[in-house]
């Protein structure tokens, strides 16, 4: 792709806009590599507004890499509770230990080295290298791909590796030497507030509209071209809120797989009726005294939906195979997948 001379004006226009309109975010204030890393991992799959209180609480509890590396898993999971995708924080702790062992306790400044750390991919490595170390490395995420597609009127599937390489090459060609971190941040802010998806794009407010080929052709709402999403598979599950006179029983999930290592209400695939629920309870070695149908609930994971039927079962006595939820105190989270039933338990 040849570089249009108008594109050379983009850095100056965009940085001038950013200096006036940039979002005030806590991880942008004198960012250390650790601060950038924590924020970028939190921002995966999570909105900026939701991340801010988690970020501040996390740094207060674990202010540096050494603290993160030595934190007990229960503390990590509790600090992450509500953000979901708990593998992210587990990978962070693993990477922190790698940094202590292999890099003298300091995050490396080069993307290729950062990518060797657990849970850090190309985008996160570029963001850390750019924001914290001033490396001229575009952090190509969904925002940058959308801006690239519109600026260049890129009429191919934007989700292919080839498209990502073209976007990276495009931004590499125009990135300034003196403010690469701000350039990345400016592009992210533009994508988050102005160059919005579909018909929501605010082209009249965009500092780059005079150089946007898609806008000139009236195609901005059609770009970027995306692959057709396959519908998420739906899994029917039945959740059992098992109670004694004064306890609610939970169990720990396996250490690998979905929601690994978290506590949960017992549950099984399929849609059970009251008779099935009583039989299931007996098979667990518990004696059901009463059973009540709870409202249905749904939880959406990235690539899966749970449609849940719930039952509340009172049993004669607890079993050592389960843990009373009261014993977890505030130190261990229950997955948000069970929020509809957790709320009922905690309120009753």
Structural domains counted in the chain: 2
- Which range of 29-33, 66-70, 258-262, 263-267 scores highest in mean pLDDT? It is 66-70
- Does pLDDT of 46 surpass 90? no
Residue 114's domain spans which residues? 5-222
Out of 222, 257, 282, pick the residue that ends a domain.
222
- Does pLDDT of 331 surpass 70? no
**Residue-level pLDDT at 3:** 58
**Residue-level pLDDT at 305:** 95
Percent of the chain with pLDDT over 90: 77
Contact 100, 65 (CB under 8 A): yes
Domain identity same for 209 and 273: no
Give Cα separations from 255 to 150, 260, 263, 305, 347 (angstroms): 44, 5, 11, 21, 29
Q: Output the DSSP codes for 212-277.
A: -HHHHTT-GGG-SB-PPPPPPPEEEEEEEEEE-SS-EEEEEPPSSSTTTT-EE--EEES---HHHH
Rounded to an integer, what distance in angstroms lies between the CA atom of residue 116 and that of residue 99? 10
| Structural domain contains residue 296 | yes
Give the list of residues 6+ apart from residue 186 with CB closer than 8 angstroms, or none. 14, 15, 17, 18, 22
Domain identity same for 218 and 278: no
- Does pLDDT of 2 surpass 80? no
pLDDT in tens, 263-278: 899 999 999 999 999 9
Phi, psi of 218 (to 5 degrees): 70, 30
Out of 195, 222, 249, pick the residue that ends a domain.
222
Domain identity same for 47 and 102: yes
Domain identity same for 178 and 318: no
Rounded to an integer, what distance in angstroms lies between the CA atom of residue 163 and that of residue 149? 9
Mean pLDDT value across residues 151-168 = 96
Angle between helices 87-102 and 73-80 (to 10 degrees): 130
Rounded to an integer, what distance in angstroms lies between the CA atom of residue 309 and that of residue 10? 54
| Structural domain contains residue 229 | no
Q: Which of 40, 81, 220, 312 is catalytic?
A: 40
| Structural domain contains residue 228 | no
Domain identity same for 73 and 180: yes
Rounded to an integer, what distance in angstroms lies between the CA atom of residue 108 and that of residue 170? 26
The residue behind tokens 């998420």 is 232
- Does pLDDT of 1 surpass 50? no
The mean-pLDDT minimum among 2-11, 62-71, 93-102 falls in 2-11
| Structural domain contains residue 227 | no
Mean pLDDT value across residues 104-132 = 97
Domain identity same for 145 and 74: yes
Domain identity same for 195 and 63: yes
| Per-residue pLDDT band at 202 (split at 50, 70, 90) | very high
Residue 40: active-site member: yes
Domain identity same for 41 and 171: yes
More confident residue, 172 or 256: 172
Q: How many helices (DSSP H) and strands (DSSP E) are in the chain?
A: 14, 7
**Residue-level pLDDT at 346:** 52
Return mean pLDDT, the chain. 92
- Which range of 22-36, 163-177, 313-327 scores highest in mean pLDDT? It is 163-177
Give the list of residues 6+ apart from residue 160 with CB closer than 8 angstroms, or none. none
CATH number for the domain spanning 200: value is 1.10.340.30
**Residue-level pLDDT at 326:** 79
Mean pLDDT value across residues 89-107 = 97
Domain identity same for 109 and 145: yes
Phi, psi of 16 (to 5 degrees): -65, -40
Q: Which two tokens stand for residue 266?
A: 């017992």
- Which range of 26-30, 78-82, 305-309 scores highest in mean pLDDT? It is 305-309
Domain identity same for 177 and 320: no
């Amino acid at each position: 792709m040849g570089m249009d001379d108008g594109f050379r004006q983009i850095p100056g226009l965009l940085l001038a806009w950013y200096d006036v309109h940039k979002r005030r975010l806590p991880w942008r204030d004198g960012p250390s590599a650790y601060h950038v890393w924590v924020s970028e991992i939190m921002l995966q799959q999570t909105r900026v507004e939701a991340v801010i209180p988690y970020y501040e609480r996390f740094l207060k509890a674990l202010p540096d890499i050494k603290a993160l590396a030595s934190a007990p898993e229960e503390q990590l999971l509790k600090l992450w509770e509500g953000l979901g995708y708990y593998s992210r924080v587990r990978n962070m702790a693993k990477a922190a230990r790698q940094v202590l062992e292999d890099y003298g306790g300091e995050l490396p400044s080069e993307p290729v080295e950062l990518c060797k750390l657990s849970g850090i991919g190309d985008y996160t490595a570029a963001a850390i290298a750019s924001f914290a170390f001033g490396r001229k490395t575009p952090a190509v995420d969904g925002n940058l791909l959308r801006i690239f597609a519109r600026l260049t009127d890129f009429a191919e599937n934007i989700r292919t590796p080839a498209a990502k390489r073209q976007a990276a090459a495009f931004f590499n060609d125009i990135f300034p030497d003196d403010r690469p971190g701000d350039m990345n941040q400016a592009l992210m802010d533009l994508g988050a507030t102005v160059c919005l998806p579909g018909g929501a794009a605010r082209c009249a407010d965009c500092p780059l509209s005079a150089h946007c080929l898609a806008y000139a052709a009236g195609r901005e709402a059609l770009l970027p071209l995306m692959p057709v999403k396959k519908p998420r598979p739906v899994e029917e599950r039945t959740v059992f809120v098992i109670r004694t006179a004064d306890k609610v029983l939970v169990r720990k999930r396996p250490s690998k797989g979905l929601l690994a290592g978290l506590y949960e209400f017992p549950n099984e695939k399929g849609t059970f009726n009251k008779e099935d629920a009583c039989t299931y309870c007996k098979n667990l070695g518990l004696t059901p005294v009463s059973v009540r149908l709870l409202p249905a609930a749904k939880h959406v994971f990235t690539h899966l939906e749970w449609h849940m039927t719930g039952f509340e079962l009172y049993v004669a006595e607890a079993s050592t195979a389960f843990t009373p939820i009261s014993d977890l105190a505030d130190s261990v989270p229950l997955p948000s997948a069970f929020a509809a039933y957790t709320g009922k338990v905690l309120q009753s």
